[in-house]
Amino acid sequence: MIVDHYLSGARQVCSPNVDTRPGGEISLVVLHSISLPPGVFGGDDIEALFTNQLDWDLHPFFQSIRGLRVSAHLLIRRDGGCVQFVPFDQRAWHAGRSRWQGRQALNDFSIGIELEGDGRAFTHAQYERLAQVLLALEYRYPHIDARKSVTHEQIAPLRKTDPGPSFDQQYLEQLMTG
């Protein structure tokens, strides 16, 4: 359930990387994956990145993303737990330079959901939670079609590969149809 643009049961961690949606349209969901450092799960580094608190000197990989200012609306952890960084009615900074069906500036009208992962298999708990979240978004925001979410790779194919080839869209759709 979504109340006042917040997902019930999600832990709230406010990101400063947010601004107002021009026009207020919410009509697309973009799926991503992230692990920090790459291949490491369960730490605090993703939250630190999305809140501009990442210690760039903690890991050599962090030098390659030093100064990055990004966010997502939600992070779905490996155990299915959710962290919400940005209320759904605000613009998170997740899509970057991207294009979908002739439209650009996708952050203006999309919701960004990060799955904790590195392109390999995602967990059953993540798929279950993602299916629940997508259906809740569809119920709350009438212009969203839960079965037409897109991946970061689809909207920025020359620069992004997430959530990766192991993301099972068909399994996700099965969960949504019950």
Report the distance separating Cα 117 and Cα 108, nearest Å: 25
The one catalytic residue in 25, 47, 114, 173 is 114
Spell 109-142 as b/e; 16+ CB within 10 A means b. Answer: bbbbbbbbbbbeebbeebbebbbbbbbbbbeebe
Whether the bond between 87 and the residue before it is cis, its omega within 30 degrees of 0, is: no
How far from the centroid of its chain's Cα atoms is residue 168's Cα?
16
Would you list the DSSP string of 43-86?
Answer: SSHHHHHHTT---TTSSGGGGGGTT-----SEEE-TTS-EEE-S
Among this protein's residues, is 128 annotated catalytic? no
Residues classed as catalytic: 114
